[in-house]
Amino acid sequence: MNAVNIFFLQAMLVVALPYLLWRGAGLQSVFPLVGIQVLAGILLGPSVFGQLAPQGWTALFGPDHLPMLSGLQWLAVTLFCFLTGLHLREGGVPAQWRATLQISLGSIAVPFALGAVAGWWMLSAGWPVAGERADPYWFACAIGISTAVTALPVLGAVLREMRLTGTNIGQLALRCAAVNDGWVWLFLTLLLLQQGGQDGTGALAVAARAGAYLALMFGVVRPALAWLLRRRAPETELLLAIALFLVLASAFLGELAGLHHVMGGFVAGLVWPSQAAQRVRQQLEPMTVVVLLPFFFLAAGLRTEISLQEPMALWIAALSLAVAIAGKMAGVALPALRAGMGWHQSLALGALLQTKGLVELVVLTVLLDARIISTTAFSGLLLMALASTLLARPLTLLVARGRLH
């Protein structure tokens, strides 16, 4: 087979297989699509397909055939981060902001603290979890970020599938997830800025470039876009072209500034005018989620190494999953109770905010690329993200006991 044949065979497996499995096996009533897509990426990687059929795996996904997928992976994750920013722009100023702020802060502070302690303990115990450029403090912060994530777009999909989008608990969950996402991206940005230079001078230079980039995007691009869209209402094709140019330009500038292209995509979503956010998101989201993102999941699967002979990744997954679930449930339920919610709804809210999905995968990829976490840690934390996302809906139904509406 030539390179073109191999590419389209890869595409058939990566794009069609998880969606057909999700719909054909009736899994949409239990699990979100992104969970099945992440699972498919792991199954197609060296840990499963590579072990069962090594020659076939090498023929399809060997090193010689991966460069053609790199551009699709970068484009997919950058567009997803743009969509995440659009989700936040659509939300506006949240209702019940005091309760939202208290619950969202609890939802990130408690699992972050527990995750940081767990990360410090992993290093102290000699687990092979740290990357080449990680010091104990920043590695512990990285594990804390990983256990604190809630993926707003995945939560939105879960709520739609459970028909909870218009309910009080559904709206509160979305508001809390939006604030949670904002904190996660802020922490990740600070971590990347710290890692941008080996010494203080290098870090200061990265911070200066990042500041100039953010000043340009929020001080110049954002008002210019708002003025342009107020002055005229572009047809769909032109609006989409403007949005895509903004995403690509922001990703390019974000990389130049030292923030990573995923930050560029996210910032592009934040500067996009709120009155046109839903219109653009509805145009881009289906193609991004169903067609492009599976290539990013494949890239994650190819970097995931799981072996029963060397179960360290499984131990990391088990510990981080326990920390993530316990921290998120406690961090959400206690302030929710103080805000006047009952036990069942408070626990159900904590269960809904377990959805990590693709935001977690983006965070882990950035941490791995920055050499803060090791490949073993990446594999274990990816399994944790998959498990917590798949458990979100069943756990919600278990603790709510029919008191969601």
Task: Give the C-alpha separation, 247 to 233, whole Å.
Answer: 19
What's the mean per-residue pLDDT of the chain? Answer: 84
- DSSP reduced 3-state for 189: helix
CA neighbours within 13 Å on the CB side: how many for 280?
A: 32
Average pLDDT for 330-345: 89
Rg of the chain over Cα atoms, rounded to whole angstroms, equals 21
pLDDT (0 to 100) of residue 189: 77
> Does position 295 have pLDDT exceeding 90, yes or no?
no
Three-state DSSP class for 269?
Answer: helix
Q: What angle do CA 31, 36, 38 make, to 5 degrees?
A: 130
- 146 vs 320: CA distance, rounded Å: 9
Q: Which CATH class is domain 3-400?
A: mainly alpha
- The stretch 100-114 carries a mean pLDDT of 90
Report CA-CA distances (Å) from 155 to 74, 93, 389: 23, 19, 9
Q: How confident is the model at residue 287 (pLDDT cuts 50, 70, 90)?
A: confident
Summary count for the chain: helices (H), strands (E):
20, 0
Q: What is the pLDDT of residues 245-275, one digit of tens each?
A: 999 999 999 888 877 788 888 889 889 988 8
Dist. CA 246–CA 222, nearest whole Å: 10
- Quick one: pLDDT at residue 68? 66
115, 147 Cβ separation under 8 angstroms: yes
pLDDT exceeds cutoff 80 at 193: no
Contact between 97 and 159 under an 8 Å Cβ cutoff? The reply is no
Write out the two tokens for 273.
Answer: 């005018």
pLDDT of residue 56: 86
Are the C-beta atoms of residues 151 and 361 closer than 8 Å to each other?
Answer: no
pLDDT(211) > 90: no
- Which residue from 111, 11, 127 is spatially nearest to 65, judged by alpha carbons? 11
Residue 321: name the closest of 372, 386, 237 by CA: 386
Q: Record the pTM.
A: 0.80
Q: Are 115 and 148 within 8 A, CB to CB? A: yes
For residue 404, what pLDDT is reported?
65
